[in-house]
Structure 1
Amino acid sequence: MKQPIAFLLLAFAIALPAHAQLLTPGTPAASANNGSIDRIVAVVNEDVILQSELDDAVHSVQQQYASQPGQLPPMDVLQKQVLDRLVLMKLQIQKAQDQDIHVSDADIDQAVAGVAQQNKISPEELRAEVEKSGGNFAQFRQQLGDQLMVQRLHQSVIHDSVSITDGEVDNLLSSPTYKAGEIHLSHIQISIPSGADAAAIQASQTKAEQALAAIKGGMDFNAAAIRFSDAPDALDGGDLGWRKMDDIPAGFADTVAAMKPGEVSAALRGPTGFHILKLVDQRQADRQVVTEFHARQILIKPSELVTPAQAEQKARDLYNRIVSKHEDFAALARDNSKDDTTANAGGDMGWFKQQDWGSTIGTQLAGLKDNEVSQPFQSEAGWHVLQRLGSRQSDLTNEIARDQAREAIGNRKAEQVYDDYLRDMRSNAFVNVLVPELRDTDDHSSTGTSP
């Protein structure tokens, strides 16, 4: 259990503390934890990042890589990487607040429950594990809330900026690369600052070449990503996961298509900087054959005039009329069912995949034989009587492929839109790194203000 919780602590370590006090730059603050002096390491617009925040975040990264400490770069490089993520998170939180994006306690409760479920423990056990790992659960909740705010900011930014046409889906499906299955990629990104001059571009290229030389010299790619990459996923080893070929920028597709698993690309120039790609693995797409069911139902809903007990009793009466008296199911559904989508069709639900009508109905279907009528059962909607009319195996490869193609196009567009948004936000922000050793080596300003 410790490993998943440690990973979660890492994932949310880049968020902000619950009550970071706004102080004048350079003014030390008393730490709420032990009363010691807690210096400000960076000013982000009108907010600050404290040394304690940076130390906690670095510690969380070290916890995740406790079994592979060689993956981590030297401490000074790691601190810069973590500080950069803290700055980016701080800026996104500020932007979300400016746009009146809020997260309620109920939202955070739901997120906590989700994290607990993923780890197959209860929320109470999650709290105990967080505290056992040295974390503060109130701060953990706050960090979850910050992540939710950033997620909603992301959704807000891309909502009106990403549209997908049927023509785009058709073009993607007809492209040879799309039919090549899926690829697992990792990457290193060396960004070029917005409005950069020739010297800044050359500095980024030099850094990319240094990263590539380190990999060719034997450095593990994930370790190189942690050390050199400035992408948000750098501390995760630059892992991009499995994706369709067309889910990556078109300018890199030809390069990746010619690579074999384990190979690393040259430093590729993209619209936002230089990229080094590693093809971790690849796999062919399988046929997607699923079981579909044909069924019909009668739904009885409780209401102001019908109590839950009366709804149950009516469902049982209808079941008896169907099974014992052999009355017509369709006629009873038309006269009694309160499901607006199926009642007029005699309760006919058509053909559908098992979970399309929810897990409760799906579970009942799996336990019935063709033409068998279920005992009355309850769902969130009310009381149901269900009859399974048939089942079949359907090849949904093409349908699923269209859905995946649409998703791939959307992901690619959303990634580019949000990356541009972050770059613009960062370039227009006031970021003053007060600790000289934490400034980027290519930042020659006396204040550390971001480009």
Structure 2
Amino acid sequence: MTALRPLTVPLLATLLTLGAFAAPSAAQQFEEIDNIVALVEEDVVLRSELDNAIFGIVERIRQQGGNLPPQDLLEKQVLERLIIRKLQVQRAFRTGIRVSDTDIDQALVALAGQNGLTVMQMRQVLESEGEDFSEFRLNLGEEIMTERLRQRVVNSMDPISDTEVDILLASEAYAGGEYHISHIMLTLPDGATPRQIQEAEEQIGEIYQQLEGGLDFASAAISFSESQEALDGGEVGWRDLNSVPREFADAISALRAGQYTVPIRSPAGFHIIKVNDYREQATVLAREHHARHILIATNELVTPRDAMDRIRELRERIVDGEEFSDLAREFSDDPSSANLGGDMGWFGENAYGERIEQMLAGLADNEVSEPFQTQAGWHIVQKLGFREIDISEEAQRARARESLRQSKADREIEQFLRQMREEAFVEIRLPS
């Protein structure tokens, strides 16, 4: 259930806790040459990288009040995440994906802004917590590369058709609510042997028994899960039942918040899913305005000053009693509304730009605005009405399409990462 993540606040937490993903310096490589814990194609994972990543994960778990898994299990899980990360970076580089300094600078600005900081303030916070900002930049660049690689996988999918949406909406199984879920997964390789299947089934059964015995779900996910959300405590986030496989949806729908499924078999492996919370999908209302306007366009012959003077004169004539619609037909330069007396019809918020929306927001019905300027020229607008309409059906259709897309993307990315891992040369050198 891997979901693409934008460069947002959750990503900042990931970068902070897994800062060791940044490439080690040449000096580090020399110092740690005898402490390689894994060979990953043409790259290596150093003991120092693994220790730093484990430290970050442990700190995050403690801050969240979670239970720490055994050190050996945590070490194994974090190393596997490092391996997958390095394989993705290598694949991205081989396929021509590059990240410029400008890309990283823009991402830093976005991350800082989403945390209410400037880049300099964020840097000071990071350095006060012992982070090397240059390594943080490198780590962020790698995150952008891997996101672009995964986005390529998603972009290669066939688009969701209207027919698929229609079928989903018409099905009895379609449900509108959303579940906040967590996930434990044991993967099966392609062409798994009966013995491999049996071993995975026994292991997921043991995990289930530990959960029944009181083991915290997040700790179990960190310790045992092989999904990409493992080190996040298995947290997938909010999903509707239409964005998960049917074998999951049936089991999830029978649960209340805090409950988890028995082990479930899928083509990808074995799973246990926990419902953390549930919410109904509310009615979706759209705000619409009804208005009319007059535009005096600026061009080579009409200066902004000329346009402003003309629109002010027209407003004075309207205030003095002339019909707005008559003046719009005679003088407005908007070809789409002039013949209609300036009538713009009913339209959604910001449909005609933020400036017109701002002017309408401050008007009473039938009130005419003061003259205002946009890139097109000078305007006056008259508010004729306002309404809220129920667009739940449209929103439901959009959600259904997004659910189908998300479900397909999850499957494609999981398959891509699993196949990449199976085909790669990886030698783990952790002591047994």
Question: Cα distance, 1:60 vs. partner?
Answer: 1.5
Q: Out of 64-73 and 276-285, give the one that drifted further.
A: 64-73
- Answer yes or no: is 1:142 the counterpart of 2:142: no
- Answer yes or no: is 1:77 the counterpart of 2:88: no
Query: Residue type matched to 1:427 in 2?
Result: E
The higher-RCO structure (CA 8 Å, 6+ apart) is: 2
Q: Show the counterpart of 2:313.
A: 321
- Answer yes or no: is 1:97 the counterpart of 2:93: yes
Question: Cα distance, 1:161 vs. partner?
Answer: 1.3
Q: Is the Cα contact below 8 Å between 2:15 and 2:140 reproduced in 1?
A: no
Any idea what SS the aligned residue of 1:435 has? coil
Tell me the distance in 1 between the aligned counterparts of 2:430 and 2:222: 21
Q: Is the Cα contact below 8 Å between 1:300 and 1:314 reproduced in 2?
A: no
Tell me the distance in 1 between the aligned counterparts of 2:199 and 2:287: 56
Q: Is the Cα contact below 8 Å between 2:9 and 2:114 reproduced in 1?
A: no
Q: 1:432 aligns with which of 398, 413, 427?
A: 427
Q: Is the Cα contact below 8 Å between 1:30 and 1:38 reproduced in 2?
A: no
Q: 1:251 aligns with which of 243, 247, 251?
A: 247
Q: Is the Cα contact below 8 Å between 1:292 and 1:353 reproduced in 2?
A: yes
Tell me the distance in 2 between the aligned counterparts of 1:5 and 1:160: 28
Q: Is the Cα contact below 8 Å between 2:296 and 2:310 reproduced in 1?
A: no
Question: Cα distance, 1:207 vs. partner?
Answer: 1.9
Tell me the distance in 1 between the aligned counterparts of 2:373 and 2:59: 46
Q: 1:436 to 1:331 in 2, by over 3 A?
A: farther
Q: 1:42 aligns with which of 38, 41, 44?
A: 38
**What is the RMSD computed on CA atoms of the aligned residues?**
3.1
Q: Is the Cα contact below 8 Å between 2:39 and 2:45 reproduced in 1?
A: yes
Q: 2:184 aligns with which of 188, 192, 203?
A: 188
Q: Show the counterpart of 1:404.
A: 399
Any idea what SS the aligned residue of 1:401 has? helix
Q: Show the counterpart of 1:390.
A: 385
Tell me the distance in 1 between the aligned counterparts of 2:282 and 2:289: 22
Q: Is the Cα contact below 8 Å between 1:226 and 1:238 reproduced in 2?
A: yes
Q: Is the Cα contact below 8 Å between 2:61 and 2:67 reproduced in 1?
A: yes
Deviations 1:110-135 (A, max 9, x none): 21122112211222211111111111
Deviations 1:9-47 (A, max 9, x none): 4346547755447xxxxxxx7427x96767322121111
Q: 1:301 to 1:319 in 2, by over 3 A?
A: closer
Q: Show the counterpart of 1:281.
A: 277
Any idea what SS the aligned residue of 2:189 has? coil
Q: Show the counterpart of 1:60.
A: 56
Q: 1:361 to 1:427 in 2, by over 3 A?
A: farther
Aligned residues: 417
Tell me the distance in 2 between the aligned counterparts of 1:239 and 1:271: 21
Q: 1:54 to 1:395 in 2, by over 3 A?
A: same
Tell me the distance in 2 between the aligned counterparts of 1:300 and 1:139: 54
Q: Show the counterpart of 2:209.
A: 213
Question: Cα distance, 1:102 vs. partner?
Answer: 1.9
Tell me the distance in 1 between the aligned counterparts of 2:9 and 2:388: 40
Query: Residue type matched to 1:409 in 2?
Result: L
Q: Out of 397-406 and 160-169, give the one that drifted further.
A: 160-169
Question: Cα distance, 1:306 vs. partner?
Answer: 8.8
Report the TM-score, using the length of structure 2 for normalisation. Answer: 0.86
Any idea what SS the aligned residue of 1:287 has? coil
Any idea what SS the aligned residue of 2:44 has? strand
5+ residue gaps, structure 2, are 1-7, 319-323
Q: Show the counterpart of 1:241.
A: 237
Q: 2:28 aligns with which of 17, 28, 31?
A: 31
5+ residue gaps, structure 1, are 22-28, 438-451
Q: Is the Cα contact below 8 Å between 1:158 and 1:417 reproduced in 2?
A: yes
Query: Residue type matched to 2:12 in 1?
Result: L
Q: 1:341 to 1:86 in 2, by over 3 A?
A: farther
Query: Residue type matched to 1:401 in 2?
Result: Q
